[in-house]
Structure 1
Amino acid sequence: MPQVDHPNVIVVFTDQQRWDTTGVHGNPLDLTPNFDTMARLGTHVLQAFTPQPVCAPARAAIQTGRYPTRTGVYRNGIPLPHDARTLAHHFRVAGYRTGYIGKWHLSLSEPVPPEDRGGYEFWLAANLLEFTSDAYRTVVFDESGAPVLLPGYRSDALFDAAIRFVADQVAPDGSGRRRPFFLFVSLLEPHHQNEVDTYPAPDGYAERYQGRWLPPDLAELSAHGGTAHRHIGGYLGQIRRVDEGLGRLFDALRSMGLLDDTIVAFTSDHGSHFKTRNSEYKRSCHDASIRVPLALRGPGFDGGGTLTRPVSTVDLPPTLLDAAGLDVPEDMDGRSFLPLLRDPSAAWPDEVFIQVSESEVGRAIRTSRWKYYVTAPDAHPWDDANATRYVETALYDLANDPYELVNLAGMPSHRNVAEELRARLVARMREAGEPEPVIEPAPEVPTSRQRRVDPTVHTARWTPTRFGHQPRA
């Protein structure tokens, strides 16, 4: 393949990590000092969301830059089609060495056969890593399909493998890299260990964080069920260890002289609501399920500051290609957000679009202020990729209810808001190639006369008077 002069690219991809586990999002436990440094020195996407809060669809989207219904992987148990063009294909054409390490979850076979590997060359992965490994016994498969036991705690073992891959791309005499590389590192943590439904952190890590902090939504909802109180220590302990591995990866890049020539992106497939919204950990419209951390370092991103516009992780593939100087395929649903770093007022959608499967067939848009969600009562959540009839199910005012504890769907006070968001959701569904839907308004819900949405109230300035507070124009 031809030699090209482009930056290396590494994606670090966690599984089931909430956005509010990071210090830059206000977490008080100092869980992610390395991610926080990455976000401060590079580019931090403040409002990042998955296009689908379940493993395989989210993974198909981040490999292809296309929505799950567009790839056909709208739920778990559907392999990525062989004709799907992934990041690996695009980087290989440009002369990159490509590698995949960790969890794949886009095949039906274990080990994953070559034709199911999305075009990656180097391969050290398992389709369902949660079933081939446990916390201290990480079994993956190499290019020949042979099992490989990686020593150490699972996230450490995968970071070690990533560092070895990077080292192998550097000339033996230390004179520099052989050719640019694209590496996708897919961790299992902080996902639960399925067969025992626990979050096995390294020895001592769960105890360090158990009982110290809960996100407000979990603190409120766990009183009525869910597993947060039981699992939060292990979950947060896993995240701390992942962040330590991220720091070792940056140290290795620095020691090999690659830090300034390598883009590193860190994000997750979806979040976790700890069974407070349904009987599972995700598969809901709530930010606990859909909002994820996202930060980037390296060429094009260092000094980028904080990006405040809503961004979907379906936008990450075209952004990485754009940052590497490669053409972005026209069939990608996502778009590069590099123009926003140069000009925050650049044209950009005011919302992200989310598809939900398995628990129900649902569709949502999420703006900086509003969450609007509809479900298809006649659709089968496993068999149907989409529907033509939906019913309004949830409306949240995130400016005043950031943890989505008060559902405003059906309230007369918010009818105009719902109508506007309904039209915007229909437009996004059409853009994603879905059939024209009918969305029925939610049944009317009686509400206090104090509930209202009046734009003048939100823009008025208030000054104290003798008899209370009165608005001033």
Structure 2
Amino acid sequence: MKKQPNFLFIVTDQHRADHLGCYGNKTVRTPNIDAIAAGGTRWDRLYVANPICMPNRASIMTGRMSSLHGARHNGIALSRDHTTFVELLKDAGYRTGLIGKSHLQSFTGLPATNRYEPDPELHTPREELRDAFKDNRHSKDYDLEIALKWDRPLAQRLTGDFYGFEDVEIAADHADQASGDYLLWAREQRPDFDSLVGRKNALPDNRIKAPQAWRTAVPEELYSTSWVAERSQAWLSARASSDAPFFLQMSFPDPHHPFTPPGKYWDLYDPADIVLPDSFGKGDLPPIRAMREAMEKGSDPRDNQNPFTVTEAEARALIALTYGSITMIDDAIGRVLAHLDALGLAEDTVVIFTTDHGDYMGDHGLMLKLLLHYQSTIRSPFIWRDPANPAGGVVEGGAVESGLASSIDISATILARAGVQSFNGMQGRNLLGSSPPDCVIVEEDSQRRMTGFDRPQRVRTLVTERYRMSLRHGEDWHELYDLQADPQEMENLYDDPASAEIRHDLTERMLKRLIDLQDRAPLPAYRA
């Protein structure tokens, strides 16, 4: 392999770790992803820095927690003033490309819910002085991913690169509602493409009845998953004759809701064959009780981004559809890997697989994500296959790393393998050249009220080898689980007197880790 290897960085969306064969799932079929793990190393306990799309994607890009890079929730763009690891690769001579989902900026165009509200009785500062940062992400540089403004390819609207990516072709949003450059392409293939998408244009199917699920009329070859694979193959072909190393991020918008796998993937899995989690329907946390009551009363719309409860039949149906989306992605990955090999690039390319966060997928009777940090939402798959580096896990049958890790570690690991020094302030560690920590932190800062919550939430979670503890600002309930004795997280020990000493120890460890994660950039003007 070259001194500077190529990288194929594969990212899926809202995809829990145990929805892969190589992570122990006996139902979903993912032979191509499993093959990556079989030839490399699979991290069993990598946790997200934040279990929300934009914040964790920004943390992967910067190697920093969301409390530092500022993209704390969806709708808050990653500032162009923050350095990304892709910029460092580009600076070191890498050709960089992004095909698929970016979500470093908002694609809805909706204003943040906590926008500055002028007080009519006081003098209102001019706009650039209304935030702690003068660059408050409200310029046109942060409107690039808004779906309604996507009248021409993103590459034509850029000045310079896009967070370090020289080549960009974006699919925003999810499922058969994906937009962006992908939608422009789909309309070129079929001028009537808009008549194929959405629930109102769905094909009839009387078998599946569940929230946010419809049988899309979009054919497989025009679906976003196929487009991401096709455009990635084209990008790789263009790099085959170049001596410069490359970094390609191939980012799929699925298996995110709504649940619309196309063609044969719609009924590839029978809901009757789906085994529900042991925790289904269990759990007495205040928001779970409130969501369950709202479902029974019919007062929860269950048609938006907020988590909701489901019946057993609905859960089986939605999991089956999700498995269909995952297998479609796996098939697409197989085509790209075969193309990489046919181009003669496989022996020089590190292949990495991860996702931005997970999904409840029936745990405790819940669907989607947000605010409750069960393992299904905060634990992500991470697989590293390095054909020429034994430290990357080239082991017969694959290797498993069981130590704690975080999504902020991904950037530092890629940079170290590329022989590029990290920037000052990167908080992640090189997973291939350092020892695991004794704990990791997960952050979440919500922007709005949701069913079961009467106020926006601020949550901090500590995960250790044995425990998961989550503390909430402004609430009178918190969580503590013994993951060894209770892997389904069904017995909350936080208020158990017998667990008081454990809780105190974990609280101290959380405080120390939060102190450690305070910013170290910029450097001081003197040395100790």
**Shared topology, TM-score over 0.5?**
yes
Three-state SS of the structure 2 residue aligned to 1:20 is coil
Residues 1:371 and 2:468 are matched in the alignment: yes
Judged with a 3 Å threshold, the aligned counterparts in structure 2 of structure 1 residues 278 and 230 are, in CA distance, closer, same or farther, namely closer
Partner of 1:329: 423
2:100 and 2:250 in contact (8 A); partners too:
yes
Partner of 1:45: 43
Q: How does 1:57-76 map to 2 (within 5 A)?
A: 57-76=55-74
> CA–CA distance in 2 between the matches of 1:8 and 1:179?
9
Residues 1:120 and 2:165 are matched in the alignment: yes
**CA drift at 1:9:** 0.9
Three-state SS of the structure 2 residue aligned to 1:166 is helix
**CA drift at 1:368:** 2.3
Three-state SS of the structure 2 residue aligned to 1:424 is helix
Partner of 1:315: 409
> CA–CA distance in 2 between the matches of 1:235 and 1:313?
23
**One-letter code aligned to 2:413:** T
Partner of 2:375: 287
Three-state SS of the structure 1 residue aligned to 2:408 is helix
**CA drift at 1:50:** 0.8
Partner of 1:147: 184
> CA–CA distance in 2 between the matches of 1:318 and 1:114?
27
Partner of 2:298: none
**CA drift at 1:114:** 2.6
2:279 and 2:365 in contact (8 A); partners too:
no
Aligned length: 395
> CA–CA distance in 1 between the matches of 2:231 and 2:328?
16
Q: Which has the higher contact order (CA 8 A, sep 6+)?
A: 2
**CA drift at 1:36:** 1.4
Structure 1 gap segments, 5+ residues each = 172-176, 194-198, 341-346, 379-390, 435-473
1:101 and 1:184 in contact (8 A); partners too:
yes
Q: How does 1:91-130 map to 2 (within 5 A)?
A: 91-108=89-106, 109=143, 110=146, 111=150, 114=158, 117-126=162-171, 128-130=172-174
Q: Percent identity?
A: 29
Judged with a 3 Å threshold, the aligned counterparts in structure 2 of structure 1 residues 425 and 336 are, in CA distance, closer, same or farther, namely same
**One-letter code aligned to 2:461:** A
> CA–CA distance in 1 between the matches of 2:484 and 2:162?
42
2:240 and 2:345 in contact (8 A); partners too:
no
Residues 1:230 and 2:295 are matched in the alignment: no
Residues 1:192 and 2:257 are matched in the alignment: yes
- Segment of structure 1 superposing worse, 216-225 or 150-159: 216-225
Three-state SS of the structure 2 residue aligned to 1:296 is strand
**CA drift at 1:49:** 1.2
Partner of 1:423: 508
**One-letter code aligned to 2:402:** T
> CA–CA distance in 1 between the matches of 2:83 and 2:276?
38
**CA drift at 1:303:** 1.5
**One-letter code aligned to 1:431:** D
- TM-score, normalised via structure 1 length: 0.78
Residues 1:169 and 2:239 are matched in the alignment: yes
CA RMSD of aligned residues (A): 2.5
Judged with a 3 Å threshold, the aligned counterparts in structure 2 of structure 1 residues 165 and 138 are, in CA distance, closer, same or farther, namely farther
**One-letter code aligned to 1:166:** L
More strand by share: 1
**CA drift at 1:282:** 1.1
**CA drift at 1:25:** 1.9
Q: Deviations over 1:74-112 (max 9, x none)?
A: 111111111111122011101011111111222242245
Q: Deviations over 1:41-72 (max 9, x none)?
A: 10110111111011110110011111111100
Three-state SS of the structure 2 residue aligned to 1:308 is strand
Q: Which contiguous aligned blocks of 4+ residues in structure 1 show a shift greater than 3 angstroms?
A: 137-140, 217-225, 274-280
1:139 and 1:148 in contact (8 A); partners too:
no
Structure 2 gap segments, 5+ residues each = 107-142, 190-220, 293-308, 447-455, 520-528
> CA–CA distance in 1 between the matches of 2:276 and 2:394?
30
**One-letter code aligned to 1:212:** D
Partner of 2:52: 54
Partner of 1:437: none
Three-state SS of the structure 2 residue aligned to 1:36 is helix
1:5 and 1:180 in contact (8 A); partners too:
no
- TM-score, normalised via structure 2 length: 0.70
Judged with a 3 Å threshold, the aligned counterparts in structure 2 of structure 1 residues 20 and 276 are, in CA distance, closer, same or farther, namely closer
Residues 1:160 and 2:200 are matched in the alignment: no
Partner of 1:348: 436
**CA drift at 1:138:** 5.6
